[in-house]
């Protein structure tokens, strides 16, 4: 998930590996549509409360090929905020019933200067958008139940994904965790569209008190590994815990990673993460190109 960019950490030093290798040859990597650098405009800026905003953008035809969990690099022209920020695609045309025809949405939480600027924009404000970027979620095989695990603003890529699964024979279930009840944007939207919706908060202000991985571990206990596929997005610590649970249970799991990045298309090398190569050693992959969605069992954490 890439829903909040560098903000205060812009300019922080980046530790780069001495050598970076990208698994797979060009012939074996999945083909993705060419990203486009566009200027579009804000259609609506919906204040969801507690610093969360759903920003709806006019979507030119070039963005029609965007898929769930891909992302945009978004910038505000005419400001001194130089670097664009990466944002997961939250909604695609048709995701939200009240969305404008052909519009896309991004979800953000105000955490610093860049997100505060975006949250202040009114309808008609121009935006620079580079996208679609990255590798997104792929649907599970027929008959396999999608299990969604979100942490706070990590819910961002899931509305478009849930909408894309409508009409399948097995509906998704969702585990949604956060620190408090104010950190669960779009919870009501999800509750109406999944078979099981379980909320956890660390302070007990909503749902079950504790971490989201606790009910997930219970749900995976004794399950047929072939019957479900996990999709997770949230803080790094949560993703690591979900990955461990998935590997232990033998369940396929896709993680939507969050990373600070300057370019979004693999040049700056600021978003590399360790992954395991075919021989079991450690290699490195770019979150913006090989991800943001990566298999849990491939991570080299």
What confidence category does residue 6 fall into, taking pLDDT thresholds of 50, 70 and 90? very low
Average pLDDT, the chain: 90
Closest CA to 148 of 53, 263, 38, 68: 68
What confidence category does residue 64 fall into, taking pLDDT thresholds of 50, 70 and 90? confident
Reported as half-sphere exposure (CB side, CA atoms, 13 A), residue 216 has a value of: 34
Give the residue, 293 or 35, on which the prediction is more confident. 293
- β partners of residue 29: none
**Reported pTM:** 0.89
**235 pLDDT exceeds 70?**
yes
**174 pLDDT exceeds 80?**
yes
Give the residue, 3 or 142, on which the prediction is more confident. 142
The stretch 258-268 carries a mean pLDDT of 92
Closest CA to 26 of 293, 292, 300, 290: 290
Q: What is the pLDDT of residue 188?
A: 97
What confidence category does residue 34 fall into, taking pLDDT thresholds of 50, 70 and 90? confident
Q: What is the pLDDT of residue 82?
A: 77
Give the residue, 233 or 26, on which the prediction is more confident. 233
CB 216 within 8 A of CB 195: no
The stretch 14-18 carries a mean pLDDT of 40
How far lies 154's CA from each of 13, 82, 87, 185, in Å? 25, 25, 11, 10
- β partners of residue 284: 274
CB 149 within 8 A of CB 211: no
- Distance between CA atoms of residues 295 and 8, nearest Å: 30
Percent of the chain with pLDDT strictly greater than 70: 89
- Distance between CA atoms of residues 200 and 177, nearest Å: 5
Lowest mean pLDDT among 81-95, 195-209, 230-244: 81-95
Q: What is the pLDDT of residue 12?
A: 37
**253 pLDDT exceeds 70?**
yes
**73 pLDDT exceeds 80?**
yes
**Quick one: how far is CA 110 from the chain centroid?**
16
**273 pLDDT exceeds 90?**
yes
**135 pLDDT exceeds 70?**
yes
Percent of the chain with pLDDT strictly greater than 90: 83
- Distance between CA atoms of residues 65 and 131, nearest Å: 10
Domains in the chain with CATH codes: 7-133 (2.40.30.10), 145-298 (3.40.50.80)
Give the SS3 label for residue 191. Answer: helix
Q: What is the pLDDT of residue 80?
A: 80
Task: Give the phi and the psi of residue 242 in degrees, each rounded to 5.
Answer: -65, -40
The per-residue pLDDT for range 137-157, each reduced to its tens digit, is 999 999 999 999 999 999 999
Q: What is the pLDDT of residue 27?
A: 39
What confidence category does residue 2 fall into, taking pLDDT thresholds of 50, 70 and 90? low
At which residue do the structure tokens 């202000």 appear? 205
């Amino acid at each position: 998930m890439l829903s909040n960019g560098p903000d205060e950490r812009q300019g922080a030093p980046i530790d780069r590996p001495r050598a970076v290798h990208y698994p797979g040859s060009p012939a074996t990597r999945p083909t993705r549509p060419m990203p486009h650098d566009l200027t579009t405009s804000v259609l609506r800026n919906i204040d969801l409360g507690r610093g969360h905003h759903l920003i709806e953008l006019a979507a030119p035809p070039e963005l029609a090929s965007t898929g769930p969990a891909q992302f945009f690099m978004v910038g505000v022209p005419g400001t001194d905020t130089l670097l664009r920020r990466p944002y997961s695609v939250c909604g695609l045309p048709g995701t939200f019933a009240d969305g404008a025809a052909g519009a896309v949405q991004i979800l953000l939480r105000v955490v610093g200067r860049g997100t505060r600027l975006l949250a202040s924009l009114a309808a008609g404000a121009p935006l620079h958008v580079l996208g679609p970027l990255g590798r997104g979620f792929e649907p599970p095989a027929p008959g396999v139940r999608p299990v969604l695990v979100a942490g706070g603003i990590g819910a961002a890529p899931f509305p478009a994904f849930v909408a894309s699964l409508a009409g399948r024979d097995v509906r998704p279930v969702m585990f949604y965790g956060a620190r408090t009840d104010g950190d669960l944007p779009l919870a009501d939207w999800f509750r109406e569209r999944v078979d099981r919706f379980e909320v956890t908060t660390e302070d007990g202000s909503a749902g079950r008190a504790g971490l989201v991985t606790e009910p997930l571990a219970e749900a995976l206990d004794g399950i047929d590994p072939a019957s479900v596929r996990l999709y997770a997005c949230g803080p790094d610590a949560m993703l690591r815990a979900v990955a461990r649970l998935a590997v232990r249970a033998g369940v396929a799991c896709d993680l939507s990673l969050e990373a600070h990045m300057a370019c979004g298309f693999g040049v700056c090398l600021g978003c590399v993460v360790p992954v395991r190569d075919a021989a079991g050693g450690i290699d490195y992959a770019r979150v913006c190109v090989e991800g943001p969605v990566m298999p849990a069992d491939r991570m080299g954490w």
